Amino acid sequence: MTGRRHFNGLKTAGLFGLMWAVVLGIGALVDGGSFLWVFAGMGVLGTAYGYWNSDKIAIRAMHARPVSEIEQPAMYRIVRELSTTARQPMPRLYVSPTQAPNAFATGRNPRNAAVCCTEGILDLLDERELRGVLGHELMHVYNRDILTSSVAAAFAGIITAFAQFLMFFGGGRERGGNPLAMIAMALLAPMAAMVIQLAISRTREFDADEDGARLTGDPHALASALAKLERGTQRAPLPANRDLVDVSHLMIANPFRGAGMAKLFATHPPMAERIRRLEAMGGSQGGTVRY
């Protein structure tokens, strides 16, 4: 599994490289690149705000509330055990009052992390499966995936801003730029940014599956949980409002009902592929993988 994890890291770096190439390419078309640093600065500020407040934004979107150990003893027991195993601080625990089964972790670092489960996932999974899910979520925090997703979102925002500027103000035309090329770039660049951002999100999900299974020592439990979540999210999807769409990439399963083109632009890799990898991981390790 070390080779696959190394490959995923290189893939993430390569995808960020593509984003930089798109930024620099379209930035050069906007008035000869004069506004490149303006848009880049806006993106950095947006990234900092989203990263620093990621826990508050996601928890507010899910209307989640903090829970005590008396209310959710299983959640506390599992998270405390896994945090201790990983030698990391205990995160804050929340429950969202929705029957849509899902879970997410957020926070800028392990000391400021929060883990949230919906009422639906707590009803759907047994304790072994819940342990697999919580291991996955904790690894998103330990792997600094919140920072990765924040930076990817900022890049996408910069590219979209460049494209809009190019479309509405025709940057570079006075320098003899090709109008058709500028229109094509204005239309295609945001789509390219979105596809790259989704690819980064999907890559991080595979890593969180693998690392979470190592943390719990039970890849089959997470595979079983994902199979239940695939069915559960189709029966009880979240409403696709703006706030929930913005935080959907944090969740362990795609919270929206999707088919056709919607699956192509999903923030999560296909559930069948995730389950296949986990089952292969469990089989290759005799069913037990140590963190």
Residues serving a catalytic function are 137
Question: How many whole angstroms separate alpha carbon 140 and alpha carbon 161?
Answer: 29
pLDDT tens for the 291 residues of the chain, in order: 444 444 555 655 666 666 666 666 666 655 555 566 666 666 566 666 666 766 777 888 899 999 999 999 999 999 999 999 999 999 999 999 999 999 999 887 889 899 999 999 999 999 999 999 999 999 999 988 877 776 666 666 666 666 666 666 555 444 445 565 556 556 666 666 666 667 677 888 998 999 999 999 999 999 999 999 999 999 999 887 877 877 888 899 989 876 544 454 467 889 999 999 999 998 755 444 343
Task: Look at residue 3 in the predicted model and tell me its pLDDT.
Answer: 43
Residue with tokens 């880049």: 40
Q: What is the pTM of this model?
A: 0.76
Q: Are 138 and 88 in contact (CB under 8 A)?
A: yes
Question: How many whole angstroms separate alpha carbon 221 and alpha carbon 239?
Answer: 28
Residue with tokens 């949980």: 225
CA 11 remoteness from chain centre: 15
Task: Look at residue 201 in the predicted model and tell me its pLDDT.
Answer: 75
Helix (H) or strand (E) holding 116, with range, is: strand 114-118
Bridge partners for 103 per DSSP: 117
Task: Look at residue 18 in the predicted model and tell me its pLDDT.
Answer: 66
DSSP β-ladder status, 103-106 and 114-118: antiparallel
Task: Look at residue 291 in the predicted model and tell me its pLDDT.
Answer: 37
- How many secondary structure helices (H) and strands (E) does the chain include? 12, 4
CA 22 remoteness from chain centre: 21
Domain layout of the chain by residue ranges: 2-284
